[in-house]
Amino acid sequence: MILRDVGAVAQISAVPSMLDMICSESGMGFAAVARVSDLSWTACAVKDNVNFGLLPGGQLELHSTLCHESRCARAPIVVDDFSIDATYRNHHTPSIYKLRSYISVPIVLSNGEYFGNLCAIDGRPMKVSEPRIVRMFEVFAKLIAMQLDGEKRQSTTENLLMTERETAKLREEFIAVLGHDLRSPLAAIGASADYLHARPATPEVLTVSKLLKSSVTRMSRLIDDIMDFARGRLGNGIPAHIECVENLSAYLQAVVQEIAQANEGRSIQFTMKIDRDVRCDPARLQQLLANLIVNAVTHGSSEEPISVSVVTDDLDLVIQVANQGDVIPQEALSKVFEPYWRPASKATNQGLGLGLYICQQVVKAHGGTIHAYSSNDDGTRFIARIPLTTKPSGQQR
């Protein structure tokens, strides 16, 4: 603790200049910033023109100093000449250290904590009681206290930030492990559903097997999002295997059909026009489109159709998903791609809030852009643009 405080004073670049000025203006031969506790007196910074012999980190016996009494009184002690001073003429301190003049001013932090003293001593009598000298000591003591307060606040903030980062990393590692370990039991549930569906069974059993398959599909997507989120946060982004894909339409149509079958009561209007090969990771674009549509199903109006458009123009593959429903406030649009984000008006049990974050990372891995728009007239619309010819900027695997 004491060594930390000595180091804190050493970090204040102005202290040496203050001590120089104190000696110059007062004529005192030795000046110091001392850490004074109820147990010890420790020099944090010194200016020694008289070979007193005390260095930073050096200690004096507490009760041999007048700083102890200044600390108890929380008030300055100023003596021009011990030999004629009515209060301190017979005090043991001047006798021990061969002193004639002395000044010590408390350094008190903003929270009331007593840090120590700004003090000066000399073997000659000096007029340190002059108002300008006392005022200089008081101002310098307050400046040192302010600097120590600032250092303490910064240290506390840095420690809290480090703790928060460590906690976040542990949380994301836990999520990654959890997502990985869930795959095996989920695969067993999926195999059981396939087994039930393939055998002759009553309509009730077929309904249950279909429900199981739907749940397995949804859980698989959640696990994929968890794993991608962990990879994106703990590594260098979501990996993408970029290749020239001739039949991207088939990949994306399969996604729309799968989601439409799982949500039979929802109308999904789908437009597809891809008239060229696309350099991309088809599995990642399937994931992108699926997350956007599922987001529209979850948050859009169940009475209005969802519009899905995938087309190519001169430069990009353009994927648009739009829905009607509650408008996202303009101030929240910049947050929709953040992890765990959900509309404030929605229940918290609607997914993990990772879907749109994964969408952004997939688009980023392809060197593209994605934006969200929302208004009363046009509803909510997500537009992703994947460059057809530019080299992707994301990590490849």
Question: Are both 14 and 111 inside the same structural domain?
Answer: yes
Q: What is the rounded CA–CA span in Å between residue 285 and residue 250?
A: 12
Residue 274 pLDDT > 80: yes
Q: Return the closest-CA partner of residue 73 out of 32, 44, 45, 114.
A: 114
Q: Are 150 and 179 members of one domain?
A: no
Answer whether residue 198 shows pLDDT above 80: no
Mean pLDDT on 343-360: 69
240: CB partners within 8 A, 6+ apart: 280, 281, 284, 362, 365, 366, 392, 394, 395, 396, 397
Q: Which of 149-158, 320-329, 357-366 has the lowest mean pLDDT?
A: 149-158
DSSP, res 240? B
250, 346: one domain: yes
Residue 98 lies in a domain: yes
Q: What is the pLDDT of residue 397?
A: 44
For residue 347, is pLDDT > 70?
no
Lowest-pLDDT range, 37-51, 121-135, 145-159, 214-228? 214-228
Long-range contacts, 215-221 (Cβ 8 Å, 24+): 215/189, 216/186, 216/189, 216/190, 217/258, 217/262, 218/262, 219/182, 219/186, 220/186, 220/190, 221/290, 221/291, 221/294
Does the pLDDT at position 88 exceed 80? yes
Helix (H, G, I), strand (E, B) or coil at 385: strand
Do 288 and 325 lie in a common domain?
Answer: yes
Query: How would you label 44-76 residue by residue, b for 16+ Cβ within 10 Å and e otherwise?
Result: bbbbbeeebebeeeeebebeebbbbebbeeeeb
Both 151 and 175 in a single domain? Answer: no
My answer on whether 272 and 182 are in the same domain is no
Establish if 394 belongs to a structural domain: no
Are 78 and 173 members of one domain?
no
A 10 A CB-CB count for 24 gives 12
Residues 248 and 383 in one domain: yes
Residue 54 domain boundaries? 2-156
Residue 395 belongs to some domain of the structure: no
- More reliable by pLDDT, 307 or 331: 307
27 inside domain: yes
> Are both 303 and 343 inside the same structural domain?
yes
Residue 308 lies in a domain: yes
Q: pLDDT at position 392, please?
A: 47
Q: What is the pLDDT of residue 350?
A: 54
Burial of residue 38 (number of CB atoms within 10 Å: 0-12, 13-18, 19+): exposed
Does 392 map to a domain? no
State the total domains in the chain. Answer: 3
* pTM of structure: 0.49
Would you say residue 247 lies in a domain? yes
Residue 230's pLDDT is 65
Best CA proximity match to 299, nearest among 326, 259, 261, 331: 326
Bridge partners (DSSP) listed for residue 280:
243
CA 393 from chain center: how many Å?
A: 25
Which one of 184, 206, 234 terminates a domain? 234
- Do 286 and 229 share a domain, yes or no? no
pLDDT in tens, 208-260: 777 777 677 767 766 777 667 666 655 556 778 899 998 899 999 999 998 89
> Of 317, 262, 295, which Cα lies nearest the Cα of 372?
295
Q: Would the pLDDT of 292 be above 90? A: yes
Residues 362/292, Cβ–Cβ less than 8 Å: no
Per-residue pLDDT tens digits for 96-114:
999 999 999 999 999 999 9
CA separation for the pair 290, 308 (Å, rounded): 11
CATH assignment of the domain containing 257: 3.30.565.10
Residue 225 vs residue 90, higher pLDDT? 90
Average pLDDT, the chain: 86
What's the average model confidence in pLDDT over 269-289? 93
Residues 273 and 180 in one domain: no
Residue 396 covered by a domain: no
Is residue 85 scored above 90 in pLDDT? yes
Cβ atoms of residues 282 and 248 within 8 Å? yes
State the average pLDDT over residues 136-152: 91
135 and 277 inside one domain: no
